[in-house]
Chain A
Amino acid sequence: MIREALGVAGTGLLIVFLTLILLSLSVKLMSFVIRSTTKKGGK
């Protein structure tokens, strides 16, 4: 049971971090693309 719990907790924490890191990078990319295209449009 302890081993199973360890697996669940380790995998869970890893997925939480991975998901939020990827979301963070995606948001950064989204902002970069939108801001650079908006600037070009402004020019």
Chain B
Amino acid sequence: MQLLNVLYEIFLKTGIPHLDYRYVIMWLIGCLFMYLAIKKDFEPLLLVPIGFSIFLVNMPIAPLTGPGQLINLFFKYGLETEIIPCLIFLGIGALTDFGPMIANPKTLLLGAAAQLGVYVAFFGSIFFGFTIKEAASIGIIGGADGPTTIYLASALAPHMMGMVAVAAYSYMAMVPLIQPPIMKLLTSEAERKIRMKQLRSVSKTEKIIFPLVATVVICLLTPDAAPLMGLLMVGNLFRECKVVDRLLKTAQNDLLNIVTIVLGLAVGSTMKAEVFLSPKPLFIFLLGLIAFAFSTVGGLIFAKIMNLFLKEKINPLIGSAGVSAVPMAARVSQKVGQEADPKNFLLMHAMGPNVAGVIGTAVAAGTFLAMLK
């Protein structure tokens, strides 16, 4: 009898009596993320750690997310302090070639126009009953930039960080599915066939000075975007100056990989059953889709408007690359362009608005912070 009591007490200390259906649903959601990453190759570097973290933190009574516990520490020191999104921007800067944008600076305007969805979803969120700070965190999904989304959400609506981050990364992974129908709907066959003049070559000096110029302009106009833009530009300077090879390699590889692991685990940890299983995430996913679609529309329509004034026409398909999602959105422009004209090469032209979109989204986040923090 005593043995049975001891066994029963041991049983009570396991997770099994604390298990309920909500945890099982979250395990399935975690598995879905891992399936999408492993089988469908959707953003695997993020969805594998996020998916496993969802799985892990929904183990009942496991000491992971309480104060001072492992994943809570990742969240507290990585995301709440906003260090991780900024370090990811350092890596992105070290990987990004701003050459196509420097060669054709008017593509920066497409990066601005493609922020339309941010503001459309911002309004939509308010109509769905979210607070103004929550609405800003949802709207920024339209920028299709994961680190910026996390950066803004951690400052304005930390309780929603997991949901908006997952929505942002999910839609980024689904760029090749979401954008092409909108692109075909809003452009004529003739427009999709427009060929653009080859971009001029950009000198090393221009590439070295660009991060300094961009830092001055952006930090003076939107100081709240300085942490993101500052690290993006220092990473880019590492890349272009060609004298800090070790720092460049660290920023591009080891550092980026380490922060990606911590980011994935920390973001996934916010998706606990008691928070996630409510109607809110469904609204966030719906609004994220609206944001993303309108950002694509904004870029395309603005490219068509620009064509009314430009002597040398631009192919409107490059406008849709103004959503950040580097380089996938640019690849989609190239692919849809080649469906209309197999000899048309839009990739380098689309990289201009694509990297401009990264800057545009960071600026949009900076303005939200300036007005709402």
Contact = CB atoms under 8 A, between A and B. Distances in A.
Interface string B199-236: 00011011001100110111001100000000000000
Contact of B132 (A8, A21, A27): A8
- Minimum-distance CB pairs A-B, first 9: A20-B112, A24-B108, A27-B105, A12-B367, A24-B105, A9-B119, A20-B108, A19-B221, A15-B367
Count chain B CB atoms within 10 A of each CB in A1, A17, A19, A28 and give the residue with the most. A19
B7 interface: no
Contact of A34 (B209, B217, B368): B209
Contacts of B111: 20
Contact of B371 (A2, A8, A19, A20): A8
**How many residues of B sit at the interface, in one of the four size bands?**
35 or more
Interface of A: 1-2, 4-5, 8-9, 11-13, 15-28, 30-31, 34-35, 38
B88 to A, nearest CB: 21
Given A9-B122, A24-B109, A38 B205 contact: yes
Contacts, number: 101
11 contacts: A13-B119, A15-B222, A16-B115, A16-B363, A16-B364, A20-B360, A21-B109, A23-B108, A24-B105, A24-B108, A28-B105
B367 A34 contact: no
Contacts of A38: 203, 205
Pick from A5, A9, A21, A23 the residue with the most CB of B within 10 Å: A23
Interface in B169-186: none
B109 A5 contact: no
B282 interface: no
A16 B105 CA distance: 15
A16 B122 contact: no
B55 to A, nearest CB: 37
Contacts of B360: 16, 20
Contact of A19 (B101, B119, B136, B222): B222
A18 B360 CA distance: 11
B135 interface: yes
B40 interface: no
Interface-centre pick from B216, B221, B356 (highest chain A CB count, 10 A): B221
A5 B216 CA distance: 29
Nearest to B209: A30
A11 B371 contact: yes
A1 B364 CA distance: 20
A36 to B, nearest CB: 12
B102 A16 contact: no
B123 interface: yes
Interface in B322-373: 356, 359-360, 363-364, 367-368, 371-372
B218 A30 contact: no
B232 to A, nearest CB: 13
A24 B363 CA distance: 14
Nearest to B302: A17
Contacts of A8: 122, 132, 136, 368, 371-372
Given A8-B122, A26-B216, 11 more contacts: A15-B367, A18-B221, A19-B363, A21-B108, A23-B105, A23-B359, A27-B108, A27-B210, A31-B202, A34-B205, A35-B203
